[in-house]
Amino acid sequence: MNDKNRARRLLLPGFLASILAVGGAAVPAAASAATPYLGSLSMVELPGHTTVPAKGDMNPYGVAVVPRSTGRLVKGDVLISDFNDKANLQGTGTTIVQLDPSGALHLFATITPGSVAGRCPGGVGLSTALVALSSGWVIVGSLPTRDGTAATAGAGCLIVLDHNGRVVETFHGGLIDGPWDMTALDGGATAELFVTNVLHGTVAAHGKAVRGGTVVRLVLQTEGVAAPVNLLETVIGSGFGQRTDPAALVIGPTGLGLGADGTLYVADTLASRIMAIHAATYRLSSAGTGATVTQGAALNSPLGLTIAPNGDILTVNGGDGNIVETTPGGAQVATRTLDSAGGGGGLLFGLVIRPGGTAVYFVDDGTNTLALLH
């Protein structure tokens, strides 16, 4: 038995017990406030602060707030992953930048193809899948291409970096196939990652929609180890529509947000709907696409997704420049325009609540900035 399998055998029973405890003891989902969360936010600071590093990478996708200061990570700073390189080729961005609350930019990591050689099919093209854990690990998805087109897309991987931005390992193969977005349940010594995958059968369909999109849950041991140990992988959602697209590379299930009751909300981009996967934190089988929370109306190809402080679901549209607030019960209660200059949208991807809950950080691809709704 190799060391990794031995670690899984030793740690898995106790770890699963702790995860089940988290799932069973989770506080009830917050009831939506009488006043929508977006009702208290009226000012959009756009353009925001640049996310373009000296290397020139652009097209910011993933956003994560640093939960604890350690190494080069500073609590409250924002990490952003870039999907395109300086030539604006999709699936070729290799940098994660770090912005402090004033907007000052620092380079957190440049992930070279050589640093993941043999461990990330296709190379490096950082996607919206980005989380920063309290244990100091940063995990980012790679959905790489060789020339910016879907025809050359590789299956990619999840890349694990330490608190100084150094690659320590990857999670690849198996159920990982085009990681597109991600959220996490951070337990300190343990973590669960929830990842959407958008490449299963997609490239081979040559632009036709296929129902191969998945949501995968990874159970990790994150403390007391030299690098996070992947104890368990499970497909908890499947059958989501996806297709290649010349402008967006791939359209498929994107944003993810975990409710307080363990329900995972998924932005089903191609169908313009939000889906709910119940018992996501301890589910051991697929729920298919889950239950429909809401569809259409103000939703217009939703991409990024996060949970508001009042428990409502916030999504940003790929088809226009709007953010939409939806209650867990499915009522679309508020809409705000974040960027009206997109000519049909496609500018908004990652978003996250600012610490304190008084504002929303979001990336704007049109200006390559991190902007603020407050």
Q: If residue 210 lies in a helix (H) or strand (E), which one and from where to where?
A: strand 210-221
128: domain CATH number is 2.120.10.30
pLDDT at site 46 = 85
CA–CA separation, 220 vs 230, rounded Å?
5
Inter-residue contact 61 to 51 (CB < 8 Å)? no
Per-residue pLDDT of the chain (374 residues; tens, 9 = 90+): 333 443 344 344 444 444 444 433 333 344 445 689 999 998 998 889 999 999 999 999 999 999 999 999 999 999 999 999 999 999 999 999 999 999 999 999 999 999 999 999 999 999 999 999 999 999 999 999 999 999 999 999 999 999 999 999 999 999 999 999 999 999 999 999 999 999 999 999 999 999 999 999 999 999 999 999 999 999 999 999 999 998 889 999 999 999 999 999 999 999 999 999 999 999 999 999 999 999 999 999 999 999 999 999 999 999 999 999 999 999 999 999 999 886 666 789 999 999 999 999 999 999 999 999 99
Domain that holds residue 321: 3-24+32-354+362-373
Distance, in Å, from the CA atom of 249 to the CA atom of 91, rounded to the nearest integer, reads 8
Q: What is the pLDDT of residue 97?
A: 98
Q: What is the DSSP secondary structure assignment for residue 103, as one 8-state letter?
A: -
Q: What is the pLDDT, as a whole number, of residue 187?
A: 96
Q: What is residue 344's predicted lDDT score, i.e. its pLDDT?
A: 63
Exposed e or buried b per residue across 103-141, where buried means at least 16 C-beta atoms within 10 angstroms of its C-beta? eebeebbbbeeebbeeebbbbbbbbbbbbbbbbbbbbbb
For the chain, the domain total comes to 1
pTM higher than the cut 0.75: yes
**Residue 51 dihedral angles phi and psi, to the nearest 5°:** -110, 10
Alpha-helical (H) ranges within the chain are 3-25
pLDDT given for residue 140 in this prediction: 98
Whether 175 and 157 have beta carbons less than 8 Å apart is answered as no
Tokens in use for 288?
């298919």
Write phi, then psi, for 300 (nearest 5 degrees). -140, 85
